[in-house]
Structure 1
């Protein structure tokens, strides 16, 4: 008996969203370009600060818009305390939002940043790639994992 994994996007993930919280305009261009290359039927929603991100998430709940499949959070917005404050705010919102996986991505490979990010509840921590090819590989890996591998809780509420 053999099993093969389908590479089609599950129906629950069609027209999904990724919330990108990034304050560096150059990185935002790279991220959006890499997402377009790797994902189909995905809307990249962007925020450059905590207020915009939290407003968007609250707006989704209040208006019935689909919440993002996951959140990419730059840790240094521009300071790491800013990134951790965004994370704290996300985790303290309603349970639907609190269940959304948060992937921290940062130029920092400092052990302290990584450890404290996990201590504060991030789902994953990734050091930012250095060139566009690596960005595309990074997002292909994210797609393979978050779109085609994991099962997240309460899909009818989150997606």
Structure 2
């Protein structure tokens, strides 16, 4: 039991999640659900590919700022934009390219899901339409990513 508590404490220490979401409406639902389910985790939201690239490049030199998880919308606003950003993230230096990426999308297309996993994401979730379902998603996200999984320590290896 002590090991689990230590892992959870390590996961939540300086916990930050990068959310790449271009829709203000979706961001509002996500941020409210996160506040209720993950109050100790600081969400950092960017709305464009350029903002995401700038933030991640800054974090390459600021090890203490690196998020423990990235939530990426596939349509930013076009589908191709999400794929390009994911490829760019995966091509970044360690430890940025090792951050688990969870893709949230309104698309339930099996081709999108297959391509996302083939591109190296950790999980693919279809965006819910009701706030109660967002709460369930973020509670499950908390349970798995913050309380069950052992996340790698933040280290750029410089």
Same fold (TM over 0.5): yes
Match of 1:89?
A: 88
How far has the Cα of 1:19 moved from its partner? 0.3
Separation in structure 1 between the aligned mates of residue 82 and residue 127 of structure 2, nearest angstrom: 15
Point out where structure 1 has 5 or more consecutive residues left out of the alignment: none
Please list, as runs of the form range in 1=range in 2, the aligned pairs for 1:139-154 lying within 5 A after superposition.
139-153=138-152
Is 1:17 aligned to residue 16 of structure 2?
yes
Aligned residues: 155
Match of 1:157?
A: 155
Please list, as runs of the form range in 1=range in 2, the aligned pairs for 1:1-159 lying within 5 A after superposition.
6=5, 9-153=8-152, 155-157=153-155
Secondary structure, aligned partner of 2:64: coil
Aligned residues of 2:11 and 2:151 also touching (Cα < 8 A): no
Give the direction of change, closer, same or farther, for the CA distance of 1:26–1:34 in structure 2 (3 Å limit): same
How far has the Cα of 1:65 moved from its partner? 3.1
Separation in structure 1 between the aligned mates of residue 7 and residue 86 of structure 2, nearest angstrom: 31
How far has the Cα of 1:56 moved from its partner? 0.8
Separation in structure 2 between the aligned mates of residue 70 and residue 50 of structure 1, nearest angstrom: 17
How far has the Cα of 1:27 moved from its partner? 0.1
Aligned residues of 1:34 and 1:135 also touching (Cα < 8 A): yes
Secondary structure, aligned partner of 1:95: coil
**Length-normalised TM-score, structure 1:** 0.90
Secondary structure, aligned partner of 2:95: helix
How far has the Cα of 1:78 moved from its partner? 1.1
How far has the Cα of 1:40 moved from its partner? 2.5
**Length-normalised TM-score, structure 2:** 0.90
How far has the Cα of 1:117 moved from its partner? 0.9
How far has the Cα of 1:61 moved from its partner? 2.3
Give the direction of change, closer, same or farther, for the CA distance of 1:8–1:34 in structure 2 (3 Å limit): farther
Give the direction of change, closer, same or farther, for the CA distance of 1:7–1:126 in structure 2 (3 Å limit): farther
